[in-house]
C-alpha cells in the first residue's frame, strides 16, 4: 500500500478528505519542525490521545510508534495557519472537556474515561458540518496516518514484505489476517 492509498483509506474511514494530504503524500517533513510549535508536554498529551485511539493490545499502540512527536512535525509542516489554529483550539477543548466532565486533567484520567471522552468527540465530529473540519477529525486522521506509516505500524501491525516479490492476485486470506503494508 502506498502513502496515497493510505490517505484515501483514512479519508474514507473518517468521512472527510485528509487535511494537508497532498503535502503528506509528498513526504516533506523536517526533523525539528514540531519543536517550534509544541512543547514536550504537548507531545506527551498527543501521545495519550493517540494511544486512546490506537491502544496497545497484542500489537503495539500509538505510543510505541512515537505518534505524538510525529504528529507535531506534521502539524508544523503540513497544516496551514487556520488548520493549526483549529488543531490547537481542539487540544484546549479536549483538556477543558476532561476537567468539566471528570474534574481532572486529561493525563490523569483512566483509560476508560479517556475512551469515553474521545468516543463522544468522535460522534460529535461525525455529525458536525461546516466549511472547517471538526478538530477531532484532524486529530484522528493524523493519529491514523502517523501510526500506519510508522515503522512500528507498518511492520508490527500490518503485514510487511521488505523486498517485493511477484504479483499474486490469488494470495490466500484468512479472516482475521492483518492488512498488507508496502
Other Cβ atoms less than 10 A from the Cβ of 125: the count is: 21
Q: For residue range 47-61, what is the model confidence (pLDDT) as tens digits?
A: 999 999 999 999 999
Place of cell 508544523: 76
Distance (Å, rounded) from C-alpha 80 to C-alpha 84? 6
pTM: 0.74
Q: For residue range 149-180, what is the model confidence (pLDDT) as tens digits?
A: 999 998 899 877 666 677 777 878 888 888 77
Amino acid at each position: 500500500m502506498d502513502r496515497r492509498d493510505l490517505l484515501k483509506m483514512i479519508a474514507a474511514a473518517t468521512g472527510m478528505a485528509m487535511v494537508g494530504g497532498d503535502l503528506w503524500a509528498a513526504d516533506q517533513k523536517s526533523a525539528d519542525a514540531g519543536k517550534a510549535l509544541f512543547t514536550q508536554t504537548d507531545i506527551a498529551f498527543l501521545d495519550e490521545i493517540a494511544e486512546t485511539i490506537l491502544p496497545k493490545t497484542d500489537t503495539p499502540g500509538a505510543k510505541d510508534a512515537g505518534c505524538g512527536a510525529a504528529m507535531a512535525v506534521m502539524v508544523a509542516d503540513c497544516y496551514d495557519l487556520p488548520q493549526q489554529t483549529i488543531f490547537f483550539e481542539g487540544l484546549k477543548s479536549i483538556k477543558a472537556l476532561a476537567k468539566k466532565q471528570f474534574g481532572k486533567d486529561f493525563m490523569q484520567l483512566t483509560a476508560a474515561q479517556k475512551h469515553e471522552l474521545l468516543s463522544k468527540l468522535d460522534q460529535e465530529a461525525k455529525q458536525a458540518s461546516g466549511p472547517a473540519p471538526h478538530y477531532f477529525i484532524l486529530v484522528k486522521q493524523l493519529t491514523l496516518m502517523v501510526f500506519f506509516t510508522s515503522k512500528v505500524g507498518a511492520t508490527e501491525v500490518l503485514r510487511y514484505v521488505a523486498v517485493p516479490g511477484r504479483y499474486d492476485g490469488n494470495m490466500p486470506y484468512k479472516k482475521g489476517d492483518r492488512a498488507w503494508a508496502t
